[in-house]
């Protein structure tokens, strides 16, 4: 790759190279399925389930960003949604495909970096992200919001689960400038309700709250230290 910056995308790729965790990192992360990682448990986010139970969301076409082993994609498919689920890790997607086959759920899995996907404009009723956003460097938030607006239908929804500052699983409190000074996200950035409102200010807020703690045997995923949010595109 030529190390010349001629446009914004060249600049972003250079910054990505300093900060982005490569696909090989995530493949290694998901390779040992026996690790005591809470979100390896095959259970959907408690907030996502609540959106359907409260009729904030209804079945439609869904894109999940950073689907991991597929726990939320499986729930969405079981709720009557048409689901595309993307992840940069081939190891995570193989696990998700195994679960989908076992549960006989039809899901279209996409093995790509989310910023390299070529998807049809305004084709999704819901874009859902549980754990991808807080691993993005600040400069990529700009592209991320552009993609939400590009891919969501008018009136479509965007659901998010991300680290709160100082959470026990992650949530560094670095300023955006400090990220580049240290060349690290320190495991993932933490977001306050106020920061999320600033970043997604072009969307209507449906709900922003802390994730509720849930016992595993309740068949839901819920831990303290996370922010949850649901927005609607105008």
* 3-class secondary structure, 108: strand
What pLDDT score was predicted for residue 2? 76
CA of residue 173 relative to chain centroid, distance: 19
Q: Which helix (H) or strand (E) element contains residue 121?
A: none
What pLDDT score was predicted for residue 215? 83
- Model pTM score: 0.95
Tens-place pLDDT, residues 108-117: 999 999 999 9
Task: Return the domain boundaries, the chain.
Answer: 8-232
- Superfamily of structural domain 8-232: Vaccinia Virus protein VP39 (3.40.50.150)
What pLDDT score was predicted for residue 132? 96
Structure tokens at 187: 């495991």
Structure tokens at 17: 């190279």
**Bridge-based pairing state of the strands 204-210 and 226-232:** antiparallel
In DSSP terms, 158 is beta-bridged to 127, 231
Residue ranges, the chain, pLDDT below 50: none
Share of the chain above pLDDT 70, in %: 99
* 3-class secondary structure, 186: coil
């Amino acid at each position: 790759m030529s190390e010349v910056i001629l446009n914004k995308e060249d600049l972003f790729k250079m910054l990505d190279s300093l900060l982005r965790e490569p696909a090989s990192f995530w493949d290694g992360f998901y390779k040992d399925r026996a690790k005591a990682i809470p979100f390896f448990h095959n259970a959907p986010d408690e907030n996502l389930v609540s959106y359907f139970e409260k009729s904030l969301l209804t079945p439609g076409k869904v894109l999940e960003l950073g689907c991991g082993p597929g726990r939320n994609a499986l729930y969405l498919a079981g709720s009557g949604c048409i689901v595309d689920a993307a992840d940069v890790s081939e190891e995570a997607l193989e696990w998700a495909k195994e679960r989908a086959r076992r549960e006989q759920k039809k899901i279209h899995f996409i093995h790509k970096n989310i910023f390299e996907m070529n998807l049809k404009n305004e084709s999704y009723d819901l874009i859902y992200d549980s754990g991808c956003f807080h691993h993005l460097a600040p400069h990529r938030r700009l592209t991320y919001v552009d993609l939400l607006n590009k891919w969501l239908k008018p009136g479509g929804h965007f659901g998010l689960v991300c680290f709160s500052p100082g959470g026990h699983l992650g949530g560094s409190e670095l300023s955006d400038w400090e990220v580049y000074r240290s060349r690290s996200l320190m495991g993932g950035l933490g977001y306050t309700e106020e920061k999320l409102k600033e970043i997604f200010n072009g969307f209507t807020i449906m709900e922003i709250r802390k994730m509720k703690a849930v016992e595993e045997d309740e068949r839901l995923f819920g831990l303290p230290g996370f922010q949850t949010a649901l927005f609607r595109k105008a």
